[in-house]
Amino acid sequence: MALLSRRKLRENIFRLLFLSDYHEASEIEEQMELFFFIYLNTEEDSCQYISKRFEQITQHLPEIDESISEASKGWRLPRIGKCELAILRLALFEMRYDTDIPVKVAINEAVELSKIYCSEEAPRFVNGILGKLAESDSESAIR
């Protein structure tokens, strides 16, 4: 069976990241199995890709969260909506750790997800945070 489109894969990774915020680490494997059974029962290749990407993101979560926290001055992580936070985590992972995805594409896809799943103000917030992070990353690369 063929993989889902990149956009659908990204959307399912976001949904899994969002879901994981509501469960203990010990429950995540069971929750993932349930998620795949409900949403992607026949997409074995897609499930493997999503699982691998989810694992990669969670491995980098401390650095990702620290960067988001620094860029969102005045907004501690618990104050950021769970949807927005999951989107920011996914996008920042793509921006920093996935060389196949251009930074602008990662930001644009994050904004599009926030238009679907978040409040009316969320796309500006997500774009602003990711823009700051992209700018600081490019400045760091120059140094």
Q: How many structural domains are present in the chain?
A: 1
Tell me the C-alpha distance between 51 and 32, whole Å.
8
Q: Note whether residue 79 is domain-resident.
A: yes
CATH code where residue 97 lies: 1.10.940.10
Quick: pLDDT tens for 87-114.
999 999 999 999 999 999 999 999 999 9
3-state SS assignment for residue 43: coil
Instruction: Give kind and range of the element (H or E) at residue 119.
Output: none
Could you tell me the residue range of the domain that residue 41 belongs to? Answer: 6-142
Q: Note whether residue 1 is domain-resident.
A: no
Give CA torsion, residues 72, 60, 87, 67, to 10 deg: 10
Residues in Cβ contact with 93 at an 8 Å cutoff, skipping those fewer than 6 apart? 56, 57, 60, 64
The upper half-sphere exposure of residue 42, i.e. CA atoms within 13 Å in the direction of its Cβ, equals 2
Written as one string, the DSSP assignment of 75-88 is --GGGS-HHHHHHH
Quick: pLDDT tens for 49-60.
999 999 999 999
Q: Note whether residue 28 is domain-resident.
A: yes
